[in-house]
């Protein structure tokens, strides 16, 4: 084609597209519930990024005392006669809350400045304001007939306080929002400080995520880690991954035994370890574990049985460092290692990056049942949903997640379950960050699956402010969420962790008042 013909061709195409863009409404044309066809408008090139006003999150921070360190101390207490002012947690809907509704309205506005008039150092502990704290508690929701769902767990807390019970445990499953002990660490610290207990709980022998606040780790040998979630090795035909959905393969003891070494940060509560428990599978009997704790002499556990086993390492004093050598003749697996105290509450962070929470019922149940019986949890938290928002049909997700709830009820029939919904997540459309289409429908699917299957539900989306609240977290000073408009910052995840803890403790105090009145 001649240059003039090429020019006329492209000019005609651009003219037709411009005319089509003028005919299509600015909001686009809907193609189904979650898909919309739209054209770039000329005004989009001059449009500045907008974000929700940060006043809402500033009020959350003023009613909080979190820092970037989940183990920061505070003398904050929630008197029983003041907690109920935040509203009832009984029923499917927590009911109208003028304060919360006002805050949500503020958070969804598109006015205000990026920053805060009351900027604060994230390392500074802010004095808690009791009135603000009551206002930011978003209650846990129950079905109408399940308002005593959490009482068995609360009775175990009472048992530890009275000395009649030595142990209680919380399993916290979730996606990347909680990975590397995020959110769990703060909740664990608050519970352990009030009811006793130390240690981080379950971890993978070879970490899924780098860095730990509780310990440093070294290893040698041909270790390999496999996960059932994320990118799964399709060459593996078995589905025996354990309750954490992952395991570490122990290479055969041929020459030098593979080694794991941990040094605990004993200045932290999560780094104070008295007992180490390991869930193992050895391919043949006769395996050995040689270990050395602190500066004591080496010791050996001999003649391990073939198949599943639970091995415990104890020491007369607190464990500061430990070196463990695995002598398995034909190799084996480590499904999890738990760093615990002798008594008190343990809380495990079981994060599964990219997971929708639909894998548990698909794995081999024998090893999961073995681990669940040994762990004996008093409460299970399931925090999923964010990874399916752009892709999955809400009706399908509701039914599929109901099957996962049924799995946990089979594994731990007397353990209450709380489903934590996804946070707000933003997608950029025409220069504006707005809540993902379909997020509310996925939240509703999780809520319905929870409440119709005998579980409780905590709505993180509404607790943080609802529609378009994520931009206010990103643009807060200091930032409470990352620039991806999906994940919280260290300070932000501790804030929402505290909000959940406060909601759970509100239920505990309501229970305590009821028991005291009998």
Tokens 């239920």 sit at which residue?
507
Identify the pLDDT of residue 463: 93
pLDDT at residue 1, rounded to an integer: 62
From residue 228, alpha-carbon distances to 97, 232, 251, 254, 354 in Å are 42, 5, 20, 28, 11
**Per-residue model confidence (pLDDT) at position 54:** 59
Q: pLDDT digits over 463-508, tens only?
A: 999 999 999 999 988 899 999 999 999 999 999 999 999 999 999 9
* Tens digit of each residue's pLDDT, the chain (518 residues): 677 777 777 778 777 767 766 665 544 454 443 344 555 554 444 444 445 555 767 777 777 878 999 998 754 444 333 333 333 222 333 333 333 333 333 333 322 222 333 333 333 223 333 344 345 689 999 998 778 999 999 999 999 999 999 999 999 999 999 999 999 999 999 999 999 999 999 999 999 887 899 999 999 999 999 999 988 888 888 999 999 999 999 999 888 899 999 999 999 999 999 999 999 999 999 999 999 999 888 999 999 999 999 999 999 899 999 999 999 999 999 999 999 999 999 999 999 999 999 999 999 999 999 999 999 999 999 999 999 998 899 999 999 999 999 999 999 999 999 999 999 999 988 888 999 999 999 999 999 999 999 999 999 999 999 999 999 999 988 899 999 999 999 999 999 999 999 999 999 999 999 988 87
Q: Residue 257: what pLDDT?
A: 95
Ordered by where they begin, the domains of the chain are 1-46 (no CATH), 51-66+79-197+344-518 (3.40.50.1110), 198-342 (2.60.120.1360)
- Which of 452, 469, 463 lies closest to 498 in space, CA to CA? 463
- pLDDT tens figures, 164-191: 999 999 999 999 999 999 999 999 999 9
Q: CA separation (Å) from 136 to 93, 307, 469?
A: 16, 49, 14
CA dist 174 and 385 (Å) reads: 9
Residue 243 to residue 404: CA distance in whole angstroms: 13
With CA atoms as reference, report the closest residue to 471 among 136, 177, 100, 54: 54
Helix (H) or strand (E) holding 319: strand 307-319
**pTM of the full predicted structure?**
0.81
Measured CA to CA, the distance from residue 109 to residue 226 in angstroms comes to 45
Indicate the SS3 state at residue 237: coil
Query: What residues form DSSP beta bridges with 279?
Result: 310, 336
146-to-150, 185, 402, 412, 452 alpha-carbon distances in Å: 9, 28, 17, 17, 10
Cα-only R_g, the chain:
26
């Amino acid at each position: 084609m001649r240059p003039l013909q090429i020019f006329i061709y492209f000019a005609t195409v651009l003219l037709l597209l411009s005319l089509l863009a003028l005919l299509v409404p600015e909001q686009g044309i809907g193609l189904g519930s979650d898909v919309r066809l739209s054209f770039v408008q000329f005004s989009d090139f001059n449009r500045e990024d907008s974000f929700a006003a940060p006043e809402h999150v500033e009020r959350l921070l003023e009613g909080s005392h979190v820092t970037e360190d989940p183990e920061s101390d505070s003398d904050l207490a929630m008197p029983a006669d003041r907690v109920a002012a935040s509203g009832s947690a009984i029923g499917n809907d927590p009911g109208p809350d003028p304060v919360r509704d006002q805050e949500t309205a503020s958070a969804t506005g598109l006015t205000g400045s990026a920053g805060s008039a009351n900027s604060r150092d994230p390392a500074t502990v802010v004095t808690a304001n009791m009135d603000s704290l009551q206002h930011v508690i978003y209650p846990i929701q129950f079905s109408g007939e399940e308002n005593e769902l959490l009482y068995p767990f609360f009775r175990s807390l009472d048992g530890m306080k009275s000395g009649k019970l030595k142990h209680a445990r919380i399993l916290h499953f979730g996606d990347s929002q909680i990975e590397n002990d995020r959110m769990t660490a703060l909740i664990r610290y608050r519970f352990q400080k009030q009811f006793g207990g130390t240690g981080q709980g379950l971890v993978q022998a070879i970490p899924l995520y780098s860095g730990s606040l509780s310990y440093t780790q070294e290893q040698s040998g041909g270790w390999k880690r496999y996960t059932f979630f994320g990118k799964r090795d399709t060459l593996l035909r078995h589905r025996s991954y354990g309750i954490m959905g992952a395991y570490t393969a122990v290479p055969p003891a041929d020459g030098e035994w593979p080694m794991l070494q941990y040094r605990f940060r004993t200045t932290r509560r999560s780094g104070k370890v008295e007992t180490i428990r390991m869930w193992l599978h050895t391919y043949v009997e006769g395996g050995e574990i040689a270990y050395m704790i602190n500066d004591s002499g080496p010791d050996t556990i001999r003649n391990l049985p073939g198949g599943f086993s639970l091995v415990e390492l104890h020491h007369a004093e607190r464990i500061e460092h430990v070196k463990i050598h695995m002598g398995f003749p034909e190799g084996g697996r480590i499904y999890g290692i738990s760093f615990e105290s002798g008594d008190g509450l343990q809380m495990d962070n079981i994060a599964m990056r990219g997971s929708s929470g639909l894998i548990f019922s698909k794995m081999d149940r024998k090893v999961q049942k073995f681990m669940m019986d040994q762990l004996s949890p008093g409460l299970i938290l399931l925090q999923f949903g964010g990874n399916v928002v752009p892709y999955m049909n809400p009706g399908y997700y509701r039914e599929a997640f109901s099957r996962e709830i049924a799995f946990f009820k089979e594994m731990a029939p007397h353990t209450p379950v709380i489903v934590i919904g996804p946070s707000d997540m933003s997608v950029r459309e025409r220069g504006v960050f707005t809540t993902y289409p379909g997020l509310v429908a996925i939240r509703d699917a999780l809520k319905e699956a929870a409440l119709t299957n005998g579980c409780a539900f905590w709505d993180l989306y509404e607790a943080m402010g609802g529609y378009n609240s994520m931009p206010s977290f990103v643009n807060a000073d200091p930032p409470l969420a990352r620039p991806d408009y999906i994940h919280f910052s260290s300070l932000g995840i501790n804030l929402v962790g505290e909000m959940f803890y406060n909601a759970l403790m509100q239920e505990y105090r309501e229970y305590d008042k009821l028991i005291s009145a009998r």
